[in-house]
Amino acid sequence: MCKIFLFDALREATDEEMERDSSVFVLGEDVGHYGGSYKVTKNLHVKYGDLRVLDTPIAENSFMGMAIGAAMTGLRPIVEGMNMSFLLLAFNQISNNAGMLHYTSGGNFKIPLVVRGPGGVGRQLGAEHSQRLEAYFQSIPGLKIVACSTPYNAKGLLKSAIRDDNPVIFFEHVLLYNLKENLPKTEYFIPLDKAELVRRGSDVTIVTYSRMRHHVMQAVDILIADNYDPEVLDLISLKPIDIKSIVTSLSKTNRLLIVEECMKTGGIGAEIIAQINDNYFDLLDSPVVRLSSQDIPTPYNGNLENATVVNPKQIVDSVRTLLS
């Protein structure tokens, strides 16, 4: 076992897959000599050269299109978005090309593409650098979407994503890169379509993902001290949503709390509620509660920024209300 940072776990996954398969390459802004905006690709250009760790111009639509074309011809590109917010500039390429080409080509082309990078609400990064794009991409057919939350699942998920023959949007949270965890020295993979059961419990099911997993676990410590017994699921897969794992837990607890950093309107939580109400309404002993970010641009002011994001106290209060 070796204790490493989350950004190093992602770097290890990239390095191992590039060493194993010469068709894997990285491209994006400052991924080469600078080492990536959060050092996920640090020194990889020394080992693999400037063509396999390719610095691109600041033109997201152009290099995304280039990556998709490379995937069509048999390569396995990893695109780093310097900030996932900037991928809105490549939305057409991701939607109409990456998501649809396997279908529109009659199955003649595969698109083994990973698009990864930092996102979420950081610390005073401003509205345009604090986007949560998971809901933007969630409705696009043909994409897989995952959100890592620990160094362990970050490495296993990225290795699986690189080997997958479908386009994968891989969300990393800007405030989780410095998390440290012991990782096995042996190779491992994590499936792209399964939620992780973080804690078993019997009173209420709490579904979350990405940075909110850690806010939930802070709240859980308080709830356990008050003799509550929550079950916690980390979604990991945002598309497809592992509704089976949610239902398995809900069959036991009959109460559901969703905690997300995504905006409330049209967010991941909204999709879960729709699926539960459509197909599993009889399992509920009370309405589903959803804690989401405010439907406003993220303020630059630190106090206002904090007020837009779900905090552990809100989670504790919501569980107490659900179980009262």
**N- to C-terminal Cα separation, the chain:** 43
Residue 2 pairs with which residues in a beta bridge? 183
Q: Using alpha carbons, list the distances in angstroms from residue 243 to 143, 158, 273, 280.
A: 17, 22, 10, 10
* Catalytic member of 45, 102, 129, 215: 129
Determine contact, residues 261/120, Cβ cutoff 8 Å. yes
* Catalytic member of 17, 29, 60, 271: 60
Known catalytic residue at 215:
no
Burial class of 273 by CB neighbour count within 10 A (0 to 12, 13 to 18, 19+): middle
Q: What is the largest CA-CA distance in the chain?
A: 61
Give me the DSSP letters along 180-199. Answer: EEEE-SS-----TT--EEEE
Determine contact, residues 94/140, Cβ cutoff 8 Å. yes
Known catalytic residue at 129:
yes
Instruction: Give the whole-angstrom CA distance, residue 215 versus residue 309.
Output: 10
CA angle 167, 173, 178 (to 5 degrees): 125
Dihedral of alpha carbons 25, 28, 29, 31, sign: negative
Determine contact, residues 79/115, Cβ cutoff 8 Å. yes
**Residues known to be catalytic:** 60, 129
